[in-house]
């Protein structure tokens, strides 16, 4: 952080040498661990409790979900590139990568919409059985997080055109990036716990 | 008030963020390794293995995804390079969350243990699930007349 | 002293942000932690009156056998709202009031890390509390106890909006709490004055930090639990629906994973207050500061390991019962450590029996009593006899009133001079203490016996034959005695002492912590110069260098320079203060509107399912939804089925209810969009504010 930022926003930096917002963000992510922990444990605890079909083995489609996992991973990659670009002051590169993150985030959401529609057509709804309730609420909440992230990144993208995103204010991007990567690691857990394990046990 | 960070930086070991950002090449290597691990994870599903192989696969999957998780947190989210305080903050949440989830899964009555191999679903499909009875309880006239 | 606004540009100017907020607008737009603290405390105290009236209503109904003062349904609403109010709208926000007012002063900062987020937290809390209490106006107050166990709270068994108000209201309050806690964690970690290392933080600040970690980690769990129940009620999911394999016990687990940390969220701040009050009035440093801090952290962490002691009677099995009994008994150890340290602080102290001290002493005794009864039902076998009886009621009131509330009252009497600049009257304070102390013990001690004699919790009435008459009457008499204490406190606090109390200087109690080093009430910028701290209890040591024992402290002070003479950074701009902002209130109002909508969408899919045949018939006859609604209106008002015989009277009522649900969803969307808009505008708003320039001669001498 250079001193311009401090003049711009004197309340930014604290006595540990870290900016306030970074501490806030990490504490929030700790909190979000409990949030997704509760959702994931709901899913796992209710595994095998459904009284009606369809069950996961009836409808999961691993190639599809694997593709969307790759897409989310790709967006995480672009996110670090975007941050690295803005930290070096390369504004155009930042815009390109950010747009890429938002784009792949949207593709991920598209996959999810497709998956949900497909499941509903196969008879799995929120109220059909416990699997439907737990699955849709878990992955839907994750999807909402992704959507918020896309909105956030697009705001940064547009904000960069009125001078809001600069090398000196790269913290804004870093914070958004932390959020984005967290959404990605939650998916890493969901992908394994909900989808992959289903194929083995 | 405009206290400069340096004035207030009395406790911290001077580990400033922005010290040295990892290079783009480094990020690329990390990203590629993440792709490889994900491909491995999916690949684990396919080779036909026996019962014993099932446990092996479960353990492998868990290890691989913990690895992925750790790599993203450490390098993409910079915890490895950043102040230890941030690692501490996140670890508090992770430790309590992991412990709670593990305890919850074990303390709940399971139809079958979620991490145990299972064959066919225990519950046969119910033909037409009867809708839950709607409340017939009338508490309004409690006063004895 | 003169004031110079920050030069701002942009479209925000039209809002006329006040440079130095004054009047009503000043309060509505305030981002000053001291004002927000006062708002929190005053709001909490108002809800305290409401919750107290509910308590008196409960005790009146139970005063004698076979009473029917009001209906059983109202009784259910009374005890549910009493508990919900006291926990979420009184003890938590009153503690938050102290966090707000005191933490920045105690760590030597000018404000919290995110002043506008802080204002947002307050407004969310206010709107959430109003929302949950608005249920009274619809005769739909939550009515299945503060733990909201399904299946009773499922739509199938509770078709009014009672539980929708509860679920959504708590959700809003949860957002407020988590936002505030993230803010305080950042403030405490990152805004300490130079030299204020973690091990020099006042214990109250430490307990605030631990409490806020608990909030941040426990509230997400209840957020999920509430969301799942809300989905069950509104979207007909099956999380807790036994008909489809759902397990109501899962709610109990999630609720108590949150619920037990929650009780520590309630007690840790008062523990911090008592740890501040005792050393001041025993004129001795706190005995074993590192142990008090460490055991606070220990309690916080272990608080996450004991939740299922609330479920011993639910048939979890022997292993789980034994494990949770063990962890529960273990958690009494750090609690005991604290009590020993408080007693050690009193030992050989020069004790001054002022009102704050009385309440602190009451706290120690009563909290200990509550701990003892807690230990009794920590034994799972024992708990089989005690669970859901008045014994439990006695236990948690000993820790919550005898503990938390006494601690908070101690804090009120202790910090009132700092906040208002006037002392509270000692005679009235003593009177209030004795009324509260005697009233409290009269009310709740007999409940131990009642519980052991088998009186269950949450019963509407009982018969003579059960032999509980005399003790219940005694409890009720005690409750009204406590009410006298509350009236004494309120008249004193909001009227007599506020108006006629003698003026308090900056340091009326000979205090130890930084807040006493500045005038009462503190100026808007708190500290003229950010102090430099050289030791634990730095302010006290500065005043009494002769009492210094500790070697490293004396070495630090050997340099001799007086307190606060250290300039952190000389700044020709003066002191920068942030300006007020409308957006925190705007954003939270948006979310509150959204929450209102969500409440009214409760039951949507269940209703739809119930009238599906009628809807199908309407679709077949080519009747549009709007037509169906207007038909339903005529059917309901004329009480005769319509000509095409699609809707009978019952169906028509359901159609109207469904229409109300749809409107609720629309309102929710509008509110959500407004809230997000508010956050965007707030993110783009410049800090602005103003600079205060102090003239040299105005420096207040110490
Ligand atoms: C030594 C420490 C403590 C122990 C061993 C302990 C133990 C217990 C146990 C085993 C129960 C469940 C009883 C039952 O429902 O059968 C219980 C209930 C309760 N405890 Fe404690 N407790 C302790 C401290 C506290 C503190 C500090 C608070 C709050 C400030 C508290 C508040 C409550 C409340 C509110 C309930 C009743 C919840 C309900 O069912 O509505 N306890 N306690
Ligand atoms: Cu408990």
Q: What is the pLDDT of residues C7-33, one digit of tens each?
A: 655 555 556 555 666 788 888 888 999
Q: Is residue B54 part of a domain?
A: yes
Tell me which of B5, B83, B96, B141 to substitute to probe the interface with C (most C C-beta atoms closer than 10 Å).
B96
Q: Is residue B65 part of a domain?
A: yes
Residue A51: Cβ within 10 Å count: 19
Q: Return the structure tokens found at A18.
A: 């870290």
CA dihedral C485→C490→C492→C496, nearest 10 degrees, is -140
| Residue C189 to residue C272: CA distance in whole angstroms | 17
Contact C73 B140 (CB under 8 A): yes
Q: Is residue B43 part of a domain?
A: yes
Q: What are phi and psi of C43, to 5 degrees?
A: -60, -45
CA distances A162 to A81, A166, C583, Å, are 22, 10, 22
Nearest to A130 among C217, C219, C244 (CB): C244
Q: Return the structure tokens found at C560.
A: 């001799």
Cα Rg of chain C, angstroms:
27
Compute the distance from residue C396 Cα to the ligand 1 centre, in Å: 6
Atom 16 of ligand 1: nearest residue by CA position? C387
Count of CB pairs separated by less than 8 Å, A with B: 193
B133: pLDDT strictly greater than 50: no
Residue C374: Cβ within 10 Å count: 21
Which pLDDT score, from 0 to 100, does residue C649 have? 81
CB C339 within 8 A of CB C364: yes
> Residue C381: exposed, middle, or buried by beta-carbon count in 10 A (0-12, 13-18, 19+)?
exposed
Nearest residue to A111 (alpha-carbon basis) of A81, A82, A142: A142
For all residues of chain C together, what is the average pLDDT? 90
Q: Which of C115-124, C336-345, C547-556, C670-679 has the lowest mean pLDDT?
A: C547-556
Q: Looking at the complex, does the CB of residue C10 fall below 8 Å from at least one CB of chain A?
A: no
CB B97 within 8 A of CB A33: yes
Decide which of C549 and A56 is more confident: A56
Q: Is residue B111 part of a domain?
A: no
Contact B61 A196 (CB under 8 A): yes
C701: pLDDT strictly greater than 60: no
Contact A76 B72 (CB under 8 A): yes
B9: pLDDT strictly greater than 60: no
Residue C310: CB within 6 Å of ligand 1? yes
Nearest residue to C359 (alpha-carbon basis) of C270, C423, C283: C270
Atom 3 of ligand 1: nearest residue by CA position? C374
Which pLDDT score, from 0 to 100, does residue A23 have? 94
3-state secondary structure of C195: coil
Domain total in chain B: 1
CA distances C472 to C83, C396, C466, Å, are 19, 18, 11
> Residue A116: exposed, middle, or buried by beta-carbon count in 10 A (0-12, 13-18, 19+)?
middle
Give the pLDDT confidence of C68-124 residue by residue, as tens digits. 999 999 999 999 999 999 999 999 999 999 999 999 999 999 889 999 999 999 999
Which pLDDT score, from 0 to 100, does residue B127 have? 46
Q: pLDDT band for B120, please (50, 70, 90 cuts).
A: very low
Q: Return the structure tokens found at C68.
A: 């029917």
Q: Looking at the complex, does the CB of residue C255 fall below 8 Å from at least one CB of chain A?
A: no
Paired strand residues for C692:
C3, C575
Show which subunits contact A, needing at least 3 CB pairs below 8 angstroms.
B, C
Contact A23 C190 (CB under 8 A): yes
C659: pLDDT strictly greater than 80: yes
3-state secondary structure of C576: strand
Compute the distance from residue C204 Cα to the ligand 2 centre, in Å: 23
DSSP designation for B22: P
| Residue B113 to residue B102: CA distance in whole angstroms | 12
In angstroms, the first-to-last Cα distance of chain C is 19
User: Which ranges in C191-247 belong to alpha helices (H)?
Assistant: 203-234
Q: Return the structure tokens found at C295.
A: 């055991």
Q: Return the structure tokens found at C184.
A: 């305080």
Cis-peptide into C28, omega within 30 deg: no
The distance of A71 to chain B (nearest Cα, Å) reads 10
Using a CB-CB distance cutoff of 8 angstroms, which residues of chain C are in contact with residue A20? 113-114, 186, 190-191
Q: Return the structure tokens found at C425.
A: 């009257």
Contact C245 A45 (CB under 8 A): no
Contact A18 B77 (CB under 8 A): no
Contact A24 C194 (CB under 8 A): no
Nearest residue to C100 (alpha-carbon basis) of C167, C177, C46, C170: C177
3-state secondary structure of C197: coil
DSSP designation for C366: H
Residue C422: CB within 6 Å of ligand 1? no
Q: Which helix (H) or strand (E) holds B118?
A: none
Which pLDDT score, from 0 to 100, does residue B131 have? 39
Site to probe by mutation for ligand 1, drawn from C396, C400, C408 as the one with most ligand atoms within 8 Å of Cβ, is: C396
Contact A134 C576 (CB under 8 A): no
Nearest residue to C505 (alpha-carbon basis) of C441, C421, C586: C421
Q: Give the nearest chain A residue to B14 (CA atoms).
A: A17
| Residue A90 to residue C374: CA distance in whole angstroms | 62
Q: Which of A100-114, A150-164, B124-138, C144-158 has the lowest mean pLDDT?
A: B124-138
Q: Looking at the complex, does the CB of residue C185 fall below 8 Å from at least one CB of chain A?
A: yes
Per-residue burial over C657-675, b if 16 or more Cβ lie within 10 Å, else e, is bbbbbbebeebbeebbebb
- Please name each of the domains of chain A with its CATH number: 3-199 (1.20.120.80)
Domain holding B30, by residue range, is 11-83
Which pLDDT score, from 0 to 100, does residue B138 have? 33
Residue C271: Cβ within 10 Å count: 28
Contact A134 C239 (CB under 8 A): yes
Decide which of C551 and B37 is more confident: B37
Q: Is residue B114 part of a domain?
A: no
Mean pLDDT of C307-329: 93
Give the pLDDT confidence of C466-517 residue by residue, as tens digits. 999 999 999 999 999 999 999 999 999 999 999 999 998 889 999 999 999 9
Contact C680 A155 (CB under 8 A): yes
Q: pLDDT band for C553, please (50, 70, 90 cuts).
A: low
Tokens 């003579």 sit at which residue? Answer: C464
The distance of C357 to chain B (nearest Cα, Å) reads 35
Nearest to B111 among A27, A49, A52 (CB): A49
Which pLDDT score, from 0 to 100, does residue C7 have? 65
CB B93 within 8 A of CB C217: yes
The distance of C627 to chain A (nearest Cα, Å) reads 28
Tell me which of A1, A12, A18 to substitute to probe the interface with B (most B C-beta atoms closer than 10 Å).
A18
CB C82 within 8 A of CB C151: no
B134: pLDDT strictly greater than 50: no
Q: What is the maximal distance between C-alpha atoms in chain B?
A: 84
Q: Give the nearest chain C residue to B109 (CA atoms).
A: C316
Q: Is residue B64 part of a domain?
A: yes
Residue C309: CB within 6 Å of ligand 1? yes
User: Which ranges in C537-641 belong to alpha helices (H)?
Assistant: 538-543, 551-558, 583-600, 604-610, 612-620, 625-638
Q: Is residue B3 part of a domain?
A: no
| Chain B residues with a Cβ under 8 Å from any Cβ in chain C | 1-4, 7-8, 10-11, 85, 92-93, 96-97, 99-100, 103-104, 107-109, 111, 123, 129-135, 137, 139-140, 142-144
Paired strand residues for C691:
C4, C576
Paired strand residues for C389:
C456
Using a CB-CB distance cutoff of 8 angstroms, which residues of chain C are in contact with residue A42? 224, 228, 239, 250, 254
| Residue C531 to residue C544: CA distance in whole angstroms | 18
The distance of B134 to chain A (nearest Cα, Å) reads 16
Contact B108 C250 (CB under 8 A): yes
- Residue A139 CA, distance from chain mean position: 11
| Residue C131 to residue C121: CA distance in whole angstroms | 15
Tokens 């002492």 sit at which residue? Answer: C497
Q: What are phi and psi of A179, to 5 degrees?
A: -60, -45
| Residue C664 to residue C254: CA distance in whole angstroms | 27
Which pLDDT score, from 0 to 100, does residue B24 have? 84
CB C130 within 8 A of CB C192: no
Residue C610: CB within 6 Å of ligand 1? no
Residue C392: CB within 6 Å of ligand 1? yes
Which pLDDT score, from 0 to 100, does residue B3 have? 36
Contact B137 C157 (CB under 8 A): yes
List all residues of chain B from 87 to 116 with a beta carbon under 8 Å from chain A.
89-90, 92-94, 96-98, 100-101, 104-105, 108, 110-112, 114-116
Q: Is residue B102 part of a domain?
A: no
Residue B124: Cβ within 10 Å count: 10
Using a CB-CB distance cutoff of 8 angstroms, which residues of chain C are in contact with residue A18? 190
The distance of A182 to chain B (nearest Cα, Å) reads 8
Tokens 């018969």 sit at which residue? Answer: C463
3-state secondary structure of C575: strand
Q: Give the nearest chain B residue to C192 (CA atoms).
A: B8
CA distances C574 to A180, B86, C115, C532, Å, are 39, 33, 19, 19
Mean pLDDT of B106-131: 52
Which pLDDT score, from 0 to 100, does residue B144 have? 40
Compute the distance from residue C310 Cα to the ligand 2 centre, in Å: 6
Q: pLDDT band for B128, please (50, 70, 90 cuts).
A: very low
> DSSP letter string over C633-656?
HHHHHHTS--TT----HHHHHHHH
Interacting residues of C455 by C-beta distance below 8 A, sequence separation 6+: C389, C390, C462, C466, C468
Nearest residue to A52 (alpha-carbon basis) of A128, A137, A142, A152: A128
Atom 34 of ligand 1: nearest residue by CA position? C396
Nearest residue to C307 (alpha-carbon basis) of C383, C366, C255, C373: C255
Residue C26: Cβ within 10 Å count: 14
């Amino acid at each position: 952080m250079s001193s311009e930022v401090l003049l711009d926003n004197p309340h930014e930096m604290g006595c540990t040498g870290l900016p306030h917002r970074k501490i806030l963000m990490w504490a929030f992510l700790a909190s979000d661990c409990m949030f997704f922990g509760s959702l994931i444990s709901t899913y796992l605890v209710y595994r095998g409790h459904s009284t009606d079909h369809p069950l996961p083995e009836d409808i999961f489609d691993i190639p599809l979900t694997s593709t969307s996992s790759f897409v989310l991973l790709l967006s995480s990659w672009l996110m670090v590139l975007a941050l690295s670009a803005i930290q070096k002051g390369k504004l155009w590169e930042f815009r390109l990568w950010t747009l890429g993150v938002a784009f792949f985030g949207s593709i991920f959401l598209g996959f999810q919409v497709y998956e949900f529609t497909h499941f509903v057509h196969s008879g799995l709804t929120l109220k059909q059985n416990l699997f439907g309730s737990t699955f849709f609420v878990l992955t839907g909440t994750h999807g909402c997080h992704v959507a918020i992230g896309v909105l956030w990144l697009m705001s940064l993208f547009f904000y960069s055109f009125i001078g809001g995103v600069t090398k000196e204010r790269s913290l804004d991007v870093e914070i958004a990036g932390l959020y984005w990567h967290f959404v990605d690691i939650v998916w890493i857990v969901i992908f394994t716990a909900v989808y992959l394990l289903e194929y083995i046990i | 008030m405009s206290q400069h960070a340096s004035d207030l930086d009395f406790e911290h070991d001077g580990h400033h963020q922005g010290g040295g950002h990892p290079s783009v090449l480094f990020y690329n290597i990390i990203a590629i390794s993440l792709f490889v691990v994900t491909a491995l994870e999916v690949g684990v599903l396919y080779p036909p293995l026996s019962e014993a192989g099932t446990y092996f696969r479960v353990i492998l999957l868990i290890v691989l995804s913990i690895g992925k998780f750790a790599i993203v947190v450490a390098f993409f989210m910079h915890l490895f390079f950043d102040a230890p305080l941030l690692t501490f903050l996140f670890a508090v949440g992770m430790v309590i969350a992991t412990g709670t989830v593990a305890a919850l899964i074990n303390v709940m009555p399971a139809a079958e243990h979620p991490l145990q191999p299972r064959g066919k679903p225990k519950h046969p499909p119910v033909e037409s699930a009867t809708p839950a009875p709607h409340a017939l309880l009338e508490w309004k006239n409690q006063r004895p007349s | 002293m003169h004031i110079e606004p920050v030069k701002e540009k942009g479209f925000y100017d039209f809002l006329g942000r006040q440079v130095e907020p004054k009047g009503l607008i000043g309060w509505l737009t305030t981002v000053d932690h001291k004002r927000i603290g006062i708002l929190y405390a005053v709001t909490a105290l108002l809800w305290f009156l409401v919750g107290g009236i509910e308590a008196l209503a409960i005790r009146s109904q139970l005063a004698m056998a076979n009473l029917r003062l009001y209906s059983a349904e109202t009784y259910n609403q009374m005890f549910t709202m009493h508990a919900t109010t006291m926990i979420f709208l009184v003890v938590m926000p009153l503690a938050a009031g102290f966090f707000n007012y005191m933490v920045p002063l105690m760590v030597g900062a000018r404000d919290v890390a995110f002043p506008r987020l802080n204002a947002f937290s307050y407004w969310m809390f206010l709107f959430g509390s109003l929302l949950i209490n608005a249920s009274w106006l619809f005769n739909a107050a939550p009515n299945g106890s503060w733990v909201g166990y399904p299946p009773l709270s499922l739509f199938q068994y509770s078709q009014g909006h009672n539980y929708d108000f509860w679920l959504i209201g708590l959700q809003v309050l949860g957002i407020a709490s988590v936002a505030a806690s993230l803010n305080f964690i950042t403030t405490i970690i990152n805004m300490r004055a130079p030299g204020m290392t973690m091990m020099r933080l006042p214990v109250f600040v430490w307990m605030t930090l631990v409490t806020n970690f608990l909030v941040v980690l426990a509230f997400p769990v209840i957020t999920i639990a509430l969301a799942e129940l809300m989905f069950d009620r509104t979207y007909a999911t099956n999380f807790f629906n036994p008909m489809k394999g759902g397990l109501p016990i899962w709610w109990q687990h999630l609720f108590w994973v949150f619920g037990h940390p929650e009780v520590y969220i309630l007690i840790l701040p008062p523990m911090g207050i008592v740890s501040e009050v005792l050393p001041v009035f025993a004129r001795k440093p706190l005995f074993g500061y590192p142990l008090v801090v460490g055991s606070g952290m220990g309690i916080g962490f272990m608080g996450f390991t004991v939740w299922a002691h609330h479920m011993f009677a639910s048939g979890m099995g022997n292993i789980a019962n034994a494990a949770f009994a063990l962890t529960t008994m273990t958690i009494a150890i750090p609690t005991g450590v604290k009590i020993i340290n408080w007693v050690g602080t009193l030992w050989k102290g020069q004790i001054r029996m002022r009102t704050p001290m009385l309440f602190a002493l009451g706290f120690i005794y009563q909290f200990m009593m509550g701990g003892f009864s807690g230990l009794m039902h920590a034994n799972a076998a024992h708990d089989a006899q005690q669970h859901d009886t008045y014994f439990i009621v006695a236990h948690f009131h000993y820790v919550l009133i005898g503990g938390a509330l006494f601690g908070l009252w101690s804090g009120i009497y202790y910090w009132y001079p700092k906040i208002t600049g006037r002392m509270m009257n000692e005679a009235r304070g003593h009177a209030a203490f004795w009324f509260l102390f005697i009233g409290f013990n009269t009310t709740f001690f007999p409940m131990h016996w009642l519980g052991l004699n088998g009186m269950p919790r949450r019963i509407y009435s009982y018969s003579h034959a059960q032999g509980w008459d005399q003790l219940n009457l005694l409890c009720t008499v005690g409750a009204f005695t406590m009410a006298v204490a509350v009236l004494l406190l309120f008249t004193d606090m909001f009227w007599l002492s506020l108006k006629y109390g003698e003026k308090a200087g900056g340091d009326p109690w000979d205090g130890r912590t930084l807040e006493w080093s500045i005038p009462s009430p503190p100026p808007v910028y708190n500290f003229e110069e950010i102090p430099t701290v050289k030791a634990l209890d730095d302010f006290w040591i500065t005043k009494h260098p002769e009492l210094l024992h500790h070697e490293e402290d004396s070495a630090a002070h050997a340099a001799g320079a007086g307190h606060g003479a250290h300039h952190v950074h000389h700044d020709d701009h003066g002191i920068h203060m942030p300006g007020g902002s409308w957006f925190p209130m705007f954003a939270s109002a948006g979310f509150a509107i959204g929450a209102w909508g969500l409440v009214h969408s409760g039951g949507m899919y269940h209703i739809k399912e119930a009238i599906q045949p009628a809807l199908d018939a309407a679709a077949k006859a080519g009747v549009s939804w709007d037509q169906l609604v207007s038909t339903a209106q005529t059917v309901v008002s004329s009480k005769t089925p319509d000509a095409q015989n699609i809707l009978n009277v019952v169906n028509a009522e359901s159609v109207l209810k469904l229409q109300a649900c749809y409107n609720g969803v629309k309102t929710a969307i509008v509110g959500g969009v407004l809230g997000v808009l508010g956050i965007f505008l707030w993110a783009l708003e410049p800090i602005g504010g103003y600079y205060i320039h102090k003239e040299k001669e105005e420096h207040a001498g110490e």
